[in-house]
Structure 1
Amino acid sequence: MSNQAQDLKAQAGEAVGQAQVKKDQMMNNASSAGQNAMDKASQTAQSGQESMQQTKDQASGFLQQTGMQVKNMAQGAAEAVKSTLGMNTDNNPSNTNNPRNPSNKI
């Protein structure tokens, strides 16, 4: 083989080696980018789940508080109606101001 043929063969081998190195670098970069994207997606999903749970807990507390307020208002209204009709069941034996109270004997 001539020197020129050997030089071309060496250059071709060097080019193949450089191409292999570039290919490996690109594959590593792509793999790293894919892993970073997966990590970011996982973090975003976790953050979304935590936010959703917090919102759910807040809504539950709000609904419970509202329910208690409605219950107390209803009890107060029922007591007011009973008192007005003279049917108050408290330890107050009679309502002397209400003529409809059956325990008032006039």
Structure 2
Amino acid sequence: MASQQMFKSGQARGEGQAKADQMMDSACGAADAAKAKASQAAQSTQQTKEHAGGMLQQTGEHVMNMAHNAMDSVKNTLGMGDSNKKF
């Protein structure tokens, strides 16, 4: 009878260990999936940030060119522009 109880105890322990291993594998898989999604989100955020930075730089250059052209136009209208220089 004692050997039968030890067998059942060992069997229960083995089943418990198998279940624990299964749960750990599942948890590790979920953690890996979450890590992959976080990495994708970070990469997407970085790409969006870089794109926005490029757009802002282009917009800034465009505004600066427009201001420069407006200044040249005013200078030319007032007779102070480069187009009125005599060589």
TM-score when normalising by structure 1: 0.74
Q: CA deviation at 1:18?
A: 0.2
Letter in 2 for 1:71: H
More helix by share: 2
Cα distance in 2 between the residues matched to 1:89 and 1:10? 107
Query: In the alignment, what sits opposite 1:81?
Result: 78
Cα distance in 1 between the residues matched to 2:4 and 2:15? 16
Letter in 1 for 2:59: F
Deviations 1:31-85 (A, max 9, x none): 11111111111000000000001101111111111111110000000111117xx
Structural mapping, 1:5-44, within 5 Å: 5-44=2-41
The structure that has the greater radius of gyration is 1
Aligned-pair identity in percent equals: 26
Cα distance in 2 between the residues matched to 1:10 and 1:18? 12
TM-score when normalising by structure 2: 0.89
Q: Does 1:48 align with 2:45?
A: yes
Q: CA deviation at 1:90?
A: 5.5
- Secondary structure of the 2:71 match is helix
Runs of 4 or more consecutive aligned structure 1 residues displaced over 6 Å after TM superposition: none
Query: In the alignment, what sits opposite 1:100?
Result: none
